Amino acid sequence: MADKLRVGVIGCGDMSRNHAFGYLRSDRYEIVALADLSTEAMSDFDEHFAEYSDYKAEHFTDFREMLEKSTLDVVSVGVWDKGHRAMTLAAAASGVKAILCEKPMADTIGAAADMRLVCERNNVKLAVGHQRRWIPAYTMAKEMIADGEIGDVRMITAFARDGLPNYSSHQADMFRYLLGDPECTWVMGNIERETDQWARAIPIEDKALAMFGFEGGAQAVILASLTPRAGWGAWISGSEGLIDLSLTDVKLMNATSGGWQHHKPDGDYLKYGDDDFEVREAAIAQARDFAAWVSGEATEFRGEAQHGYKALEMVHAVYESARTHTQVQMPMKTMVHPLELMIEEGHLPVRYPGRYDIRNRSLRGENTASDEENG
C-alpha cells in the first residue's frame, strides 16, 4: 500500500470530526495539522482522536500559516459556507493533492465555480462531502432502480427542514445519485420567509416546495417544513413498483415481491444496527475511496466536485424560481445567492423580526456569528 496521506483540517467542528473519523478508521491517512481560531476547539479535537496512532496534529490559528508550514497531501475544509471559497482556493494554490470540502459546496454558485476552476488549474482533486452516497441503503436502492426493479422512475419525494442549502443539498444529491447522476434539466418552486432565519451565516427560508425534472423523465419533489416530517429517506415511485428508502432500510414492492420486501444492508465496515451506523459507515467508505482517487488507484470518485456543484445549483434554482416566478432551465445563469437578492430587494419582508442562526449552537465563547476567513 502507498504511504499514508498527510491531512490538514481547517475548522474543528462536527463536520470536520466526521471527516477525521473516516480518515483515521480507513487507515489510509495521518492527520498532521489543524487550523481553527479557537485553541479550545483544537484541544477538544485532540482529545477526541487521542486513541489513534495516526493522529499527531500541530495547531495553527491561521489556516494560511498551516498551508505554508505543513507538508500536506489533503486538506479538509469544514468551516461555515462563506469560508469555503477562500480556503479551497488557498489550499489549491499551496500544492496539495486534494481537498475535501464540506457541503454545501459554497454560499453561491459563483463561488463554487471559482473553486472548481482554481482546483482544475492547479491539478488539485476537489471533492464535496456528500457522504450519504456511501450509505449501503442508498446504494442498494440505486442498484434496484438501475436493474429495473420498479420500471421507469416517475417521482421521488423527500421531506426537509432547516433551509434548502443547509439540509436539502443532501437530498438534491441523493436524487441524482439514485438515478445514476443524470442532469437536472429544470427546477420550479416557491418559498416562505416570515422570520429572519439563517444557517451558518447564510439566510434561509422558513418553508419551501421544490420540483425538479431530470434527463430521462424522472421528477422529484422536496417538501421543506410544510409538514412535521423530515429526514434523509425518500419515497420512490416507478412505472412498475415502489421503493421506501431510509438511511438504513430499503423496502421494495413490485409485481414479484409478494408485498413489501424488506432489506437491511450491512456496510463494508459496520453491521446494520451498530451505533451511528449510517454516519460512521459512510465516513469511512468515503475516506477509503477518496484515498484511492487521490493516490491514482481509481480514476473516478462518487463525491467529485461536479456533483456537489450540481446539488448546490439545484437548491439555489428553487430560490431563483421563486425570485423570477419562472420554471428555471438548467444550468442556472444567476451566480449570486437568489435568496439574498430577494431579501435585499425587499421581496421577502420579515413579519417577525429578530435575526437568529440555527447553527449558532456550534460556536464557542461569546461568538454569535462565524468568521468567514478562518473558521
Q: What is the pLDDT of residue 364?
A: 60
User: Do 311 and 104 meet the contact criterion of CB atoms below 8 Å apart?
Assistant: yes
Mean pLDDT, residues 187-193 = 98
Q: Each residue of 309-338: pLDDT tens digit?
A: 999 999 999 999 999 999 999 999 999 999
- CA dihedral for 156, 158, 325, 116, sign (positive or negative): negative
Sign, CA torsion 51/53/55/56: positive
The pLDDT of residue 365 is above 80: no
pLDDT over 80 (residue 362): no
**Confidence bin at 8 (pLDDT 50/70/90):** very high
* Residue 6, CA distances (Å) to 75, 165, 281, 285 in order: 9, 30, 22, 18
**Dihedral class, residue 10 (left if φ above 0, else alpha if ψ from -120 to 50, else beta):** beta
Asked if the model's pLDDT at residue 204 lies above 80, the reply is yes
pLDDT recorded at residue 359: 81
Give residue-wise pLDDT tens across range 40-93: 999 999 999 999 999 999 999 999 999 999 999 999 999 999 999 999 999 999
**pLDDT digit string, tens, across residues 307-317:** 999 999 999 99
Half-sphere exposure of 230 (CA within 13 A, CB side): 14
CA pair distance 357, 349, nearest whole angstrom: 18
Strand partners, 357: 198
Checking DSSP bridges between strand 184-192 and strand 234-238, what pairing results, if any?
A: unpaired
192 vs 190: CA distance, rounded Å: 7
- Region 330-351: what's the mean pLDDT? 96
pLDDT higher than 60, residue 374:
no
pLDDT above 90 as % of the chain: 95
What span, in angstroms and rounded, lies between the C-alpha atoms of 50 and 177? Answer: 35
Buried b (16+ CB within 10 A) or exposed e, 218-237: bbbbbbbbeeeebebbbebb
Q: How far apart are CA 63 and CA 69, in angstroms?
A: 10
Task: Round the CA-based radius of gyration of the chain to a whole number and report it.
Answer: 20
Backbone angles phi, psi at 238, to 5 degrees: -125, 175
Average model confidence (pLDDT) across the chain:
95
Residue 375 is predicted with a pLDDT of 38
CB 60 within 8 A of CB 69: yes
- Of 13, 7, 117, 27, the C-alpha closest to 73 is 7
150: Cβ–Cβ under 8 A, 6 or more apart, which residues? Answer: 144, 236, 237, 238, 239, 240, 241, 242, 243, 252, 254
**pLDDT, tens digit, 9 for 90 and up, residues 215-242:** 999 999 999 999 999 999 999 999 999 9
Is the model's pLDDT at 139 over the cut of 60? yes
Q: Which residue has the cell 427546477?
A: 187
In a 13 Å sphere around the CA of 1, the CA atoms on its Cβ side amount to 10
Compute the distance between CA of residue 133 and CA of residue 170 in angstroms, rounded to an integer: 9
Q: How far is CA 337 from CA 82, 145, 197, 258, 280, in A?
A: 12, 34, 15, 48, 32
Q: Which CATH superfamily is domain 5-132+278-303 in?
A: NAD(P)-binding Rossmann-like Domain (3.40.50.720)
- Give the pLDDT score at 367: 62
**Segment 257-292, tens digit of pLDDT:** 999 999 999 999 999 999 999 999 999 999 999 999
What pLDDT digit, counting tens, does each position of 91-131 carry? 999 999 999 999 999 999 999 999 999 999 999 999 999 99
